[in-house]
Amino acid sequence: MASIITATVASGLTQSADNSGVLQLASGTGNLVTVPSVTGTAMVSGNMPAFSAFGNVSYSITTGVDTKVRFETERFDTANCFDSTTNYRFTPNVAGYYQINYIGRFQATSPTIAYVMLYKNGSMYIVGNQIMGIASGTNFDLPASDLVYMNGTTDYLEVYINVGGTSILVNDNGTTTFVSSFSGYLARAA
């Protein structure tokens, strides 16, 4: 049982009440939504940030240095939370838990080891992936993902890469498919 507020073409807005303590909203007949008995903001697709960006302009980095990966091109950024021009960071404007996916693409001469890392608020959050035994001079993709809590105001995420070797290039010029990438979406509001 539930108290129900219903909108119909025939009757406009109607309501029925009981003492169940449960509230349901109905648009038309048979389309019921139960309002959850928790405190929070109702999330709909329009206010749940999602973004996807990639980097396809290659640049040199130094061996043994945690270097921020640049993502200059956005595929989409629904809430304008990704900075693709200056800091290459995601600063979501809704507090909650975000599914984050990232790929560091690189090549190097005689590479020994490589890491791709997620940084939160300027400090390492996690080493998402590492690999050894990479072929020299071959482009390689190092993928990782995580679920990260963000406070919706000041928290931000960036991707860093660290490669041992010489003549190291991050990203891959020109292509839009073989790229370093960074994407995420709100999985659950706080």
Partner 1 sequence: MLYDKIKTIYPQLTIADFAPATGTIMLQNDSDGKGDYIAKWEHPTFPRPTDEELA
Structure token pair of residue 174: 């020109």
Q: Which of 1, 43, 124, 190 binds partner 1 (CB under 8 A)?
A: 124
Burial class of 79 by CB neighbour count within 10 A (0 to 12, 13 to 18, 19+): middle
Position 70 contacts partner 1 (CB under 8 A): yes
| CB of 81 vs partner 1, minimal distance in Å | 19
Query: Out of 65, 135, 187, 190, which residue is the one contacting partner 1 (CB under 8 A)?
Result: 65
- Span of 13-21, 32-40, 44-52, 67-75 interacting with partner 1 by CB under 8 A: 67-75
94 CB-near residues (< 8 Å, 6+ apart): 43, 47, 48, 49, 79, 152, 186, 189
Q: Is 54 in the site for partner 1 (CB under 8 A)?
A: no
HSE-CB for 184 with a 13 A CA cutoff: 33
Binding mask 82-101 for partner 1 (x = CB under 8 A): ----xxx-------------
Q: What is the spatial distance between Cα 125 and Cα 105, in angstroms, rounded to a whole number? A: 20
- The answer to whether 62 contacts partner 1 (rule: CB under 8 A) is yes
Regarding 182 and contact with partner 1 (CB under 8 A), the answer is no
The DSSP bridge partners found for residue 131 are 114
From candidates 63, 73, 121, 139, binder to partner 1 by CB under 8 A: 63
Token couple for 81: 């939370």
Nearest distance in Å: CB 151, partner 1: 22
- C-alpha span between 184 and 64 (Å, rounded): 27
Question: Residue 57 interacts with partner 1 (CB under 8 A)?
Answer: no
DSSP 172: -
Indicate if the alpha-carbon torsion angle 125, 131, 136, 138 is positive or negative: negative
Applying CB under 8 A, does 112 fall inside the site for partner 1? Answer: yes
User: What character string, x for contact with partner 1 (CB under 8 A) and - otherwise, covers 129-168?
Assistant: -x-----------------------------x-x-x----
Residues that bind partner 1 (CB under 8 A): 59, 61-70, 86-88, 112-113, 115, 117, 124, 127, 130, 160, 162, 164
